[in-house]
Amino acid sequence: MHVLRLLILICASLWLAGPAGASSALEDFLPSASAADLVPGGEGFGAIHEDVDVAPVLKGGETIAWVFVTSDFVGTTGYSGKPIHTLVAVDPDAKVIGVRLVKHSEPIVLIGIPEEKIEALVAGYAGLDLIAEAKSGGTAHDVDIISGATVTVMVIDDSIVRSGLKVARALGLGGLAPEAADAGPDLAIDPDAAAPLHWAEAEGDGTLRRLSLDVAQVNAAFADHADPRAQARALTETPETNFIDMQVGLVSVPAIGSAVLGAAANANLRDWLSEGDSAIAVMARGLYSFKGSGYVRGGIFDRIVLIQDDVSVRFRDRDHRRLNGIALEGAPQFTEMDLFRIPASSGFDPAKPFRIQLLVQREVGPIEKVFHTFDLGYQLPPKYLRAVTPPAVEVVSIADREESTAQSDLWRRIWEGSQLEIAGLGAMLAVLTGVFFFQNFAVRNAKVYRIFRLSFLTVTLVFLGWYANAQLSVVNLMALFNSFVSGFSWQAFLLDPLTFILWFAVAAALLFWGRGAYCGWLCPFGALQELTNQIARKLRIPQWTLPWGLHERLWPVKYIIFLGLFGVSLMSVEQAERLAEIEPFKTAIILNFVRAWPFVAYAVALLVAGLFVERFYCRYLCPLGAALAIPARIRMFDWLKRYHECGNPCQTCSRQCPVQAIHKTGEINPNECINCLHCQVLYQSETVCPVVIKKVKSRAKLAASPVTPRFIQTPTPTNRT
C-alpha cells in the first residue's frame, strides 16, 4: 500500500507539474563548447546577452564575434521530428566564421552516412555572407546536399541562414537594420474580392503563377554544375519535352479558394485551417514530380519549400492534403494536385510576395545525386488586397519571442491530424481491456482465441509499428527522467500522440496486469518476434526450451542492461541513447530495416534466434521490458487463475508457457509473464489440463450411473402433552 500511495503521489505531481523555466539552447550547449574551435583566435565566451540569446566571443577582452544556437531563433525540426541544434558564430561584418553541429536526432543520418560527413558539411558554412543572403532572400549560396540526407541538410541550411539574419539584424551587424516592432501589415486580404471566372483569366491577372521548364532548360542548368557527372547524365528526351509545368495559387484567399476548389472543397479547406493559417494549391504535370517517390508518412516534402524574406516553410505530411479536382472552367489536366497548409506560427504574410523553390535532382551514381533549384515567384494581385490601419503592438525583444506558443499550436495540430491513428489505438486498447476483464469468456474456445491473438499481433506490428511508428523505447523513459532534472514540460511529450497515449495506457496496465499488457500485446517488435516464430513452427523449425537453471540465469541480463543504461543517462543522455541501440526497434520497426548493415544484421540475428527460442530478445535482453517489470509487482489484482494441483504434481502449464514464466512449483512470475493467456486456455481445456479432465470424467461417470430413488418416511410427531 505504501508503494501504491507513492505511485499515486508521483502521478499527481506529473499532472500538476507545469513547464519549468526552460533555459535557452545556448545556455545548454555553450558550457561544453570551445571558443578556439569555433572561432579562430577565440579565447573564451562572455555573458549571454540579456535581450537576445547570443554570447560574445572574446579575444584579449574584446568581442570578435557573436555566438548563438539556431534553435533559439527559428524552428529546426528535422526528419526525426526533433530539433537540430547548430552552434553558429557571426562576426561584426555579418559573416559566419564558425559553425558546429552540436546535437541532432536524425535517424536518416544513420543510413550509411558517416556522422563526420554531416559535421564537415555544417562546418563548411564558415564564410557565409549574411548581407548577401539578406539581399537575395537566402539564395546567394549553393546548398551542398548529401544524397540520403536531403531533408536534414536542407533544414540545417535553412536554420543557419534564417537565424543568422535574425541575429545580424537584432545586433545591427554589417549595417543590417535591427528588427523593428511588428506593427502589422499595411495590406490585408479582402474577403469581398471578386473570383476569376475562367482559368485563362486566373493566369492572366496573376491569381495563378506558373513555372514551366522543358528538358533543354534543365539540361542547361545542370551543364553548369561543378560535378561533371551532372552533364554526362543529361536527360535524353527531346529538348522541347515538358519537364514540369507547375502552377501555384494562394487558395486560402476566399475568392481564389472558391474559384479553384469549388464550394464544397473550399468549405473543407476552411474547416482544416486554423485562425491565421494560409494554404496554397500546387498543381503540376510533366516528367518530374514536385512530391517525389521518397516521401513517406511522417516525413517532409523535400522537393518544394516556401520562402518569404527570412521565413522558410517546409511542408510535412500533417500539412498536406490531396486535391481531387479543379472547379475553375478551362483548367488543364494535371497529374499532381495537392494542398499545403502554412501555419500561422511560421510568420508567413499572405499579403507579401513569396516564392516556391523547386529542388530538381539528377542521379549521377548508384546512390549519389546532384541538385539544382528553380524559383516560382508569387504575389497576390492588388484586387485581392485592401489597405488596413496597422494595430498598435507592444514591442518585444527576440528573446521574448520564444516558440512555446508555436509548439503548443504544433502539438494540437499534430493531434488533430492524427485522429485516425488515435482512433485506431483507442479501439485496440478498448478491445484488449475487454479481453483482460472477460478473459474466461475470451479463452473459452482455444482455436478462436488463437486466431484472435495472432490477428491482434498482426495489427500491432503493421498498424502500430510499421505504419504509425508507435514503438515505445527505453529512451523514452530516460528522456522522461532527464526532463524532471532539466525542467519538465508536457509539450515535449505531446508531440507524439500515440506514444503519449501508449505510455499512459502502460502506466494504468501496470496497476492492473503488470508489464504483460504492453510486452505481450502492444509491442510491435514483440509481435514481430512471435509472428515469425509461429511461421517457424509451421515450417517445422525445431523449438528449443532452455534448461530451467540456464533460463533463470539469463533473464536477469535485461535488468543489468537497463540499470547500465540508466546509470549512463545520469551522466549523458546522448551517450545513453547511443548505447540504447541494443534495442532493435529503430531498425526493425521505425526504419523498416533500411539502415546501415551492422544494425540490420543485429536485428535479423535477434529475429533468427527467436525462430528457435520464442521471444528470445524479450526474455533475455530487452531493457524496456526490464524497466516495466520492476514495478510489475505493485499490480492490485491477480487475474490469472491457478489450481491447487498446478506445479504439484501437474507441470503442463510450466512446460507449455511460451516464455517460461511459470515456475516448476506452479507460481507465475509477474516479472516475466507477457499475459498471453495461454495458461488460461489450458486452465479450461478439457483435453490438456489434468484437473479439468478429471472433473469432466467425474461428471460423466456421475451422469452415467443409475439413480436409485430413496423414500424417506416422515416420523409421526410425538404428543408431549
Q: What is the pLDDT of residues 570-618, one digit of tens each?
A: 877 667 777 888 999 888 887 788 777 888 899 999 999 999 999 999 9
Q: Highest mean pLDDT: which of 302-316, 373-387, 491-505, 686-700?
A: 373-387
Mean pLDDT for 211-228 is 89
Q: What is the pLDDT of residue 408?
A: 59
Strands, E, within 257-296: which ranges? 278-285
Distance CA 16, CA 194 (A): 51
pLDDT tier at 416, thresholds 50, 70, 90:
confident
Mean pLDDT for 665-694 is 87
The answer, yes or no, to whether the previous bond of 649 is cis (omega within 30 of 0) is yes
Q: What percent of the chain has pLDDT above 70?
A: 82
Q: How far is CA 306 from the centre of its chain?
A: 23
Which of 480-489, 617-626, 701-710 has the least mean pLDDT?
A: 480-489
- Tens digits of per-residue pLDDT, 139-195? 667 666 665 556 677 778 888 888 888 898 888 888 887 655 445 557 888 888 998
CA distances from 377 to 9, 147, 373, 608, 690 (A): 57, 27, 13, 55, 80
C-alpha cell at 43: 579565447
Distance CA 490, CA 339 (A): 31
**623 versus 106: which is more confidently predicted?**
623
Q: What percent of the chain has pLDDT above 90?
A: 32
Which of 85-89, 196-200, 408-412 has the least mean pLDDT?
A: 408-412
Q: Indicate the length of the chain as a whole number.
A: 721
Q: Which bin fits 189, alpha (ψ -120 to 50), beta or left (φ > 0)?
A: beta
Q: What integer best gives the mean pLDDT of the chain?
A: 82
CB contact burial 185-213 (16+ within 10 A = b; e otherwise): eebebbeebebbeebebbbeeebbbebeb
| The model's pTM | 0.53
Answer whether residue 520 shows pLDDT above 70.
yes
Instruction: Work out the end-to-end distance of the chain between its first and last CA atoms, rounded to an integer number of angstroms.
Output: 65
In sequence order, which residues have a C-beta less than 8 Å from that of residue 303 and are 6 or more positions away?
A: 289, 290, 291, 292, 358, 359, 360, 361
Nearest to 206 by CA among 386, 387, 382, 385: 382
**299 versus 173: which is more confidently predicted?**
173
CA distances from 160 to 149, 178, 400, 617, 718 (A): 17, 18, 20, 42, 111
Q: What is the pLDDT of residue 17?
A: 37
Q: What is the pLDDT of residue 10?
A: 39
Q: What is the pLDDT of residue 664?
A: 85
DSSP tally for the chain: helices H, then strands E? 30, 16
**35 versus 80: which is more confidently predicted?**
35
Mean pLDDT for 648-661 is 88
Distance CA 105, CA 155 (A): 13
Q: What is the pLDDT of residue 398?
A: 39
Answer whether residue 679 shows pLDDT above 60.
yes
**392 versus 625: which is more confidently predicted?**
625
Distance CA 26, CA 67 (A): 9
Nearest to 41 by CA among 87, 89, 80: 89
* 3-class secondary structure, 89: strand
pLDDT tier at 327, thresholds 50, 70, 90:
very high
Q: What is the pLDDT of residue 489?
A: 56
